[in-house]
Amino acid sequence: MKTIGYAAQSPDARLAPFKFEHRTLRESDVAMEILYCGVCHSDLHMARNDWNWSSYPIVPGHEIVGRVINVSDNVTRFKVGDHVAVGCMVDSCQECNECHNDLEQYCSQGHTLTYGSPDRIDGNITHGGYSKHLVAREEFVLSIPEGLDLSRVAPLLCAGITTYSPLRTWNVGPGSRVAIIGMGGLGHMAIKLAAGLGAHVTVISRSKNKEEDAKTLGADKFLLSTDKDTMTQAASSFDLIIDTIPVKHDLNPYTPLLVLDGTLVFVGQVGPVDEVNTMPMILGRRRLAGSLIGGIKETQEMLDFCGRMNILPECETIRMDEINEAFERMEKSDVRYRFVIDMATLSA
């Protein structure tokens, strides 16, 4: 299938129009026209090769909402015209213990990323949602609940599931005390989802200016991390802390805030953090953990939950030709809270 997207040709290149072809449909494939694509901070990292594993040309985009335009004969769950979604993965081995337990994101053979990843069968590098079309195997295509605003669904496929998965893993529900560090694309979804699950939610931020927004998004309380007295008074307050900060930072102000057996889970920074003082962890049997998106079953669960609760991200819609400016604004944290590309603005 011939299509067009926006690609970076090198780490220092601006994204620009790029024509390419998707594979011919295999026996369980779904082809879709992309309607909306979210802009994730990891798209910027991948385009700039910040993690040293990007290959070029690269067409980013793994928060994808589309309309089915063709299906293979063996596809049973979708038909032409259905509104569907694709997240960060488009394949995995389907045979290992992790895949059999609906944890494809931890596939022991390695999952196939929606973009910038070699296809398991033909070895070609996958291209993502900054484009007019996508082809994916049925098992990795998701249903969108009726009634959700399609123009705001896309960020749920990464920011949503990235924060929903640890909330479910650590059994958050009514009575749970959850803190969210950072209030960007991930953080604002963590607030909405934790509140939707019935938790008492506290936002921890360096900026007092974010308090009103935090309460509007569903937080019960706001904690200013630069106020040492307030932070000291908050010791042993939280069962779970979700750390959404996407850069290297100091964890030591946060670990004492956990209760006995409490967990601080990373979903933002990929890489080093500052040196950690283990004293609060040892004395309180506290834990540091990480979490990577969610499996396909859990992602569908998250979408269905958002459909029932009408939980959606706060979005700014942009044109495809505004993507480079959007990247520049993301670097300055100048977005409230997530960009979504209207793919109707990209001509085929």
DSSP states of 286-314: -EEEE-----HHHHHHHHHHHHHHT----
Residues 15 and 148 in one domain: yes
Tell me how far apart the alpha carbons of residues 286 and 284 are, in angstroms, rounded to a whole number. 5
Nearest to 265 by CA among 126, 161, 166: 166
Average pLDDT value for the chain: 96
In a domain? residue 305? no
CATH code: domain of residue 334 = 3.90.180.10
Residues 56 and 106 in one domain: yes
In a domain? residue 301? no
Whether the predicted pLDDT of 37 surpasses 90: yes
Residues 11 and 80 in one domain: yes
Residues 92 and 106 in one domain: yes
Provide the token pair at 194.
């934790």
Tens digits of residue pLDDT in 103-140: 999 999 999 999 999 999 999 999 999 999 999 999 99
Tell me how far apart the alpha carbons of residues 157 and 303 are, in angstroms, rounded to a whole number. 8
Residues 147 and 8 in one domain: yes
261 confidence band (pLDDT: 50, 70, 90): very high
Non-local (6+) Cβ contacts of 160 within 8 A are: 189, 193, 302, 303, 306, 313
For the entire predicted model, the pTM comes to 0.95
Residues 9 and 128 in one domain: yes
In a domain? residue 303? no
Residues 249 and 319 in one domain: no
Rounded mean pLDDT of 214-220?
A: 96
Task: Look at the chain and report how many structural domains it folds into.
Answer: 2
Residues 223 and 280 in one domain: yes
Whether the predicted pLDDT of 163 surpasses 90: yes
Asked if 184 and 207 touch (Cβ cutoff 8 Å), the reply is no
In a domain? residue 53? yes
Residues 335 and 251 in one domain: no
1 confidence band (pLDDT: 50, 70, 90): confident
Rounded mean pLDDT of 214-223?
A: 96
Asked if 135 and 1 touch (Cβ cutoff 8 Å), the reply is yes
Residues 216 and 284 in one domain: yes
Give the bridge partners for 179, in sequence order: 202, 241
Tell me how far apart the alpha carbons of residues 30 and 140 are, in angstroms, rounded to a whole number. 10
Residues 250 and 270 in one domain: yes
CATH code: domain of residue 252 = 3.40.50.720
Containing structural domain, residue 339: 2-157+312-345
Rounded mean pLDDT of 1-28?
A: 96
> Burial, 61: exposed, middle or buried (Cβ in 10 Å; 0-12, 13-18, 19+)?
buried
Whether the predicted pLDDT of 10 surpasses 90: yes
In a domain? residue 340? yes
In a domain? residue 296? no
Rounded mean pLDDT of 313-330?
A: 96
Residues 150 and 12 in one domain: yes
Tell me how far apart the alpha carbons of residues 28 and 93 are, in angstroms, rounded to a whole number. 15
Tens digits of residue pLDDT in 269-300: 888 999 999 999 999 999 999 999 999 999 99
Whether the predicted pLDDT of 348 surpasses 80: no
In a domain? residue 268? yes
Q: What is the DSSP letter of 254?
A: T
Task: Give the burial string for 304-326 (b: 16+ CB within 10 Å, else e).
Answer: ebbbeeebbbbbeebebebbeeb
In a domain? residue 286? yes
